[in-house]
Structure 1
Amino acid sequence: MVVAGIDEAGRGPVVGPMVLAIVAGNEKALRALGVRDSKELSRKARERLYPLILKSAECVNYVVLEPHVIDEWAASHKLNLLEAEEAAKLMRLCDADVYYVDSPDPKPERFSELLSRMSGRRVVAMNKAERVPQVAAASIVAKVVRDRLVDMLRSEMGDFGSGYPSDSKTISALRSGKIAVECIRHSWGTLKRLKGDGQSMVQ
């Protein structure tokens, strides 16, 4: 039986894209590599595992969702639906008998039903799904790809921190207008609060 896993990186930041990845592969082979939730690994460890996953897996793919796309869906509170649509597209690129997905919905069974209906595939959505090796591998792929994209943004605009709302360096960069508008998620409450305080240089 072919098993695939799907996970994302960068759902929460106010700056930069979100990346959704899929990995289909042998459980034992992926476990042998030492895959686990990308948040539990250092960047060095993720970068080391990334090419090993690409070599070991039967199928790997990902999609990059830019801030303006996220804004369009988040503005109408449909970010989960966007994630489901993009996951369904990835599933069509990687054939498997079952797809394990890290659920963005606090009720995983609801996300399972939605994605199964959209894709016509067997889907098991779970909270903390990274315990499934294929999902853990997908989380690593998504995180590595996103980190590299954010590095490119930093090389163009200077160090703006992690891009997360909790990062004071990111907030300072938003206030100073250091970050290009197309790289910012304007629907995020962080930006709205800064504008309300008269502290944001972003138009």
Structure 2
Amino acid sequence: MQMFVGGIDEAGRGPVIGPMVMAIVVVDDMNRLRAMGVKDSKELSPTGRARLFSILKSTLNYMDYEVIEPGTIDNYVYMNALNILEVEIAAKLINRALSNVSPQVVYIDSPDPKPGRFRDMVKRGVEGNVEIVAMNNADKLVPVVSAASIVAKVVRDSIIEELHREYGDFGSGYPSDPRTITFLRDWIRRHGDLPPIVRRSWSTVRKLLSNNLDRYL
């Protein structure tokens, strides 16, 4: 009997600019992924990710992803529920996969330090019979999750390239990037507010907006 195994991972949870992307992939042979050299996307160069993504598109039995925009992320952060957002998106991705290829087991990279708790929440949202395995560092340990991390990262990077063309060079979009902070500060100075690609719930942004407001009081 053919065994379909799924993997889920995200890209872009931490940046202050741009969306988060969560991806699911399903494969019937994880050894094939190992032979391809699939590993956590963070351990690959952009060229290496692009090369593997191209191969994965013709190798995987199934691939899907969700793009979560900054406004949605903000809503969940304000409720202190970013992990709940990942739970809901993971369940949605699994439900769509079940109606296509019916994976018997799905591995998920858990953002919760208690993976069992994360697994139980995802399971409640899944409308089908599938084993859910949540693990910390699954993107490094399970090839099918590594493949999902590559898909999520490549999709997000292509979105970030588009945003650079539209809004200018904001660097990596991470709060630790000086180019990102300079972009945000300059944008607030010129426009008095922020573009819709920015996550307003991040402390970095709240601080910049607060400092800008103080200048006019």
Q: Which band: TM-score by shorter chain?
A: over 0.9
Corresponding residue for residue 17 of structure 2: 15
Match of 2:197 among 171, 183, 191: 183
Q: Matched residues in 2 for 1:188 and 1:114: separation?
A: 25
**TM-score of the two chains, using structure 1 as the length reference:** 0.94
Aligned-residue offset at 1:197 = 2.7
TM-score (norm: length of structure 2): 0.88
Residue 73 in 1 paired to residue 73 in 2?
no
Q: Find the partner of 1:113 among 114, 120, 125.
A: 120
Within 5 Å, which residues of 2 pair with 1:1-203? Answer: 1-25=3-27, 26-94=29-97, 95-120=102-127, 121-130=130-139, 131-177=141-187, 181-198=195-212
Residue type of the alignment partner of 2:112: D
Q: Given residue 133 of structure 1, which amino acid in structure 2 is its aligned partner?
A: P
Query: CA offsets per residue over residues 21-52 of structure 1, 9 Å max, x none?
Result: 00111201111111100000000000000011
Q: Which amino acid aligns with 1:50?
A: F
CA spacing shift, 1:194–1:33, aligned 2, 3 Å: same
**SS of aligned partner of 1:96:** coil
2:199 match: secondary structure: coil
Is the 8 Å Cα contact of residues 184 and 194 (structure 2) preserved in structure 1? Answer: no
- Cα distance in 2 for partners of 1:52, 1:139 equals 14
**Preserved CA contact (<8 Å) 2:105 2:132:** yes
Contact 1:103 1:125 in 2 (8 A): yes
CA distance in 2, matches of 1:200, 1:160: 24
> Contact between 1:70 and 1:79, CA under 8 Å: does it hold in 2?
yes
Secondary structure of residue in 2 paired with 1:24: strand
Identity %: 50
User: Does the aligned pair in 2 maintain the 1:46–1:144 contact within 8 Å?
Assistant: yes
**Distance in 1 between residues matched to 2:91 and 2:122, nearest whole Å:** 7
Distance in 2 between residues matched to 1:88 and 1:173, nearest whole Å:
35
RMSD after superposition: 1.7
Task: Give the deviation of 1:180 after TM superposition.
Answer: 5.5
- The structure number with the bigger radius of gyration is 2
- Structure 2 CA distance for aligned equivalents of residues 174 and 200 of structure 1: 16
Structure 2 SS opposite 1:70: helix
- 5+ residue gaps in structure 2? none
What is the SS of the residue equivalent to 1:150?
helix
